[in-house]
Amino acid sequence: MFGSRSKEEKSPTDKVPLDLSKQPRDPEAPKGRPTPKRSEAQTQRRRASSAPADRKEATKRQREARRADLARQREAMASGDERYLPARDKGPVRRFVRDFVDSRFCIAEFFLPLAVVILVLSMVRVGSLQNIALLLWLGVIVLIIVDSIGLAFRMKRQLNERFPNESKRGAVAYGLMRTLQMRRLRLPKPQVKRGERP
């Protein structure tokens, strides 16, 4: 009898831990920390996976990669290779604008040399030369404005004809900024000769 009682007493105590472990956790019970947002959790996972073992080595690799990218961009600027050009110079619209500007003679490309000449004339302490410099300055500015307005209208018309369904945002301003650079200093380098149709 005593043996059967001891067995009966042991069995309920054996079952208690099992029953407790099978009980579901109360959803209201605190877990000690707030649940992170999905974006935060993903960022933490990315940081953990991409953390370099050696920081110096990682910095060195990044520097070398940046140097290689810049070298490719310089080559692309010289050759006009679309693959490695910066984002502002990529695409058929921007290429057409560059060719359109490079195939024409623009007064604005002589702005810097003329500005230097006018500045030297204005520094000379002769009244007549200073007056000539002022008139030259005004004349150059008026000519550049008139030439740029005409170029902008022609460029816009050509862009609308050739690329009716593509985004042309900022293309005219991009072309006008290119006219202010001297032809041999332009980057990407001109791919067409003057007078050649783009």
Q: What is the pLDDT of residues 126-169, one digit of tens each?
A: 888 888 888 999 999 999 999 999 999 999 999 999 999 988 99
Please provide the size of the chain in residues. Answer: 198
Q: How far is it, in rounded angstroms, from Cα 32 to Cα 4?
A: 45
Q: What local confidence, expressed as pLDDT, does residue 158 receive?
A: 94
Q: What local confidence, expressed as pLDDT, does residue 60 receive?
A: 87
Tokens read off for 8: 């009966």
Q: What local confidence, expressed as pLDDT, does residue 12 receive?
A: 47
Q: What local confidence, expressed as pLDDT, does residue 104 receive?
A: 93
Mean pLDDT for the stretch of residues 79-85: 76
Q: How far is it, in rounded angstroms, from Cα 195 to Cα 198?
A: 9
Backbone angles phi, psi at 105, to 5 degrees: -90, 120
- Name the helix (H) or strand (E) containing 139: helix 127-162
Q: Residue 140's CB: how many other CB atoms inside 10 A? A: 18
Q: What local confidence, expressed as pLDDT, does residue 82 receive?
A: 77
Q: What local confidence, expressed as pLDDT, does residue 15 receive?
A: 47
- Summarised one tens digit per residue, pLDDT across range 6-56 is 444 444 444 444 444 455 656 665 566 677 788 887 887 776 655 556 788
The Cα-based distances of 80 to 14, 58, 92, 140, 188 in angstroms read: 81, 32, 12, 31, 6
More confident residue, 27 or 190: 190
| Average pLDDT, rounded, for the chain | 81
pLDDT at 68 exceeding the cut of 90: no
Q: What local confidence, expressed as pLDDT, does residue 24 receive?
A: 60
Instruction: Delimit the domains of the chain by residue range.
Output: 106-185
Instruction: State how far Cα 35 lies from the chain centre.
Output: 35
Tokens read off for 5: 């009682």
Nearest Cα to 193, choosing from 104, 90, 63? 104
Q: Which residues contact 197 (CB under 8 A, 6 or more apart)?
A: 103
pLDDT-above-70 percentage for the chain = 80
Q: How far is it, in rounded angstroms, from Cα 94 to Cα 187?
A: 12
For residues 104, 100, 76, 109, the Cα torsion angle rounded to the nearest 10 degrees is 40
Name the band, by pLDDT with cuts 50, 70 and 90, for residue 125: confident
